Structure 1
């Protein structure tokens, strides 16, 4: 009896994980660094990392809206313009995109590999240099 329950839970978890994976693929476009560079200046560039990470270095022109604050600050983003998201590795920007999609945002993109893979210009906050 217990084994059957464990198998059912495992199958349910796998199915849910597959559903989320394909849902993310549908609502979020993953861009290479080159593709990201081509479009981010004409978009809303959002760094979803926490403030300390952002202060340590971020893509030039990015606004910091941490994933932890996204629900409260979502009105700062326009629905009629593309949104380019990034975090450290890609996981948080995917979660941010799922939240934005639920709220009606359509043109959602994120940087493959996140900030740690970025080779372009970065800016450091004065606060982080001390």
Structure 2
């Protein structure tokens, strides 16, 4: 596979770097828990959680995902959109989108709940280095009900070539292009869903508690580099998150094809994912798989996103 189109990159990099701001439903407030341990044990928390997600749009199995926004649109709407830059503060100071606010990933939920009225903005744009960590956070916030949140495609790598050189362009490679296989690997036998245990019993409250922990952990904990999959692939349940026609042309050895936007729900193949092994979804760029990884971890799986997707190894 070729790396992402240089024509696309040139278009994305056209937006100029500037210094210096620039909907959605308002989620319900989580109630204070008065649940006893006995009450928690009686509730199937996984069922309560996944039912809430399904009844709230089933984001990962919805055609709208990944909810990304092009940098050109952001540039044209700086006066209307709220731009939240989740990069390290030292990198933010080196240059950022005009009016962007620098917010730590771990502070996002508190910021949305207490510092702003999210529904007052037509769009809220999360910006990171490459679109991957912002995708992880965007998926989490979307599942909490903030449906006007978007991940800026390619992150700051699409805004200015200086950032692209140190992040995106530095990490794309074809190191393992000759190591792919074309064998179609079967999905695992359907089994049990993961056990979810929090201090809550209500679906939304369970989701919120898990989301807070996950964003506090940060994206890095939920990622893996391609070397690990090519040298120790048996340690992982590798999901090729591409259309089947592309999967058949070559994929990471041992990877199993799952249809994007359709295959990770209870009505399809969610219960074929193991609960005793790390699940690694990979896509073309690492941006879509970041959304999937957020979802899988929220509902109890041990999942890691392959950084840079196929662009990082072929």
With normalisation by structure 1, the TM-score equals 0.63
The answer to whether structure 1 residue 116 and structure 2 residue 154 are counterparts is: no
Deviation at 1:54, TM superposition (A): 1.3
Query: 1:27–1:101: 8 Å Cα contact kept in structure 2?
Result: no
Give 1:24 shift.
Answer: 8.3
Q: Secondary structure at the match of 1:105?
A: coil
Matched with 1:52 is 90
Q: Greater CA deviation, 107-116 or 72-81?
A: 72-81
After TM superposition, where is structure 1 displaced by more than 6 Å over at least 4 residues in a row? none
**Given that residues 83 and 107 in structure 1 are in contact (C-alpha distance below 8 angstroms), is that contact kept between their aligned partners in structure 2?**
yes
Query: Residues 18-37 of structure 1: matches in 2 within 5 Å?
Result: 22=60, 26=64, 28-37=66-75
Does the aligned pair in 1 maintain the 2:112–2:118 contact within 8 Å?
no
Task: Give the superposed CA RMSD.
Answer: 2.7
Q: Which residue of 2 aligns with 1:7?
A: none
Q: CA 1:66 to 1:104, structure 2 compared with 1: closer, same or farther past 3 Å?
A: same
Higher relative contact order (CA 8 A, sep 6+): 1
Unmatched 5+ residue regions in structure 1? 1-20, 121-130
For structure 2, the 5+ residue unaligned runs are: 1-58, 162-314
Distance 1:27 1:115, change over 3 A: same
CA distance in 2, matches of 1:23, 1:50: 31
Check whether the contact 1:87–1:93 (CA below 8 A) recurs between aligned residues.
yes
TM-score by length of 2: 0.29
> Against the structure 1 CA distance between its residues 66 and 24, is the aligned structure 2 distance closer, same or farther, given a 3 Å change threshold?
farther
The number of aligned residues is 101
- Residue 99 of structure 1, CA deviation: 2.2
Q: Distance in 2 between matches of 1:24 and 1:36?
A: 23
Aligned counterparts of 2:134 and 2:73: Cα–Cα separation in 1: 16
Question: What does 1:81-100 align with in structure 2 at a 5 Å threshold?
Answer: 81=121, 82-100=123-141
Higher helix fraction (1 or 2)? 1
Quick check: which has more Rg, 1 or 2? 2
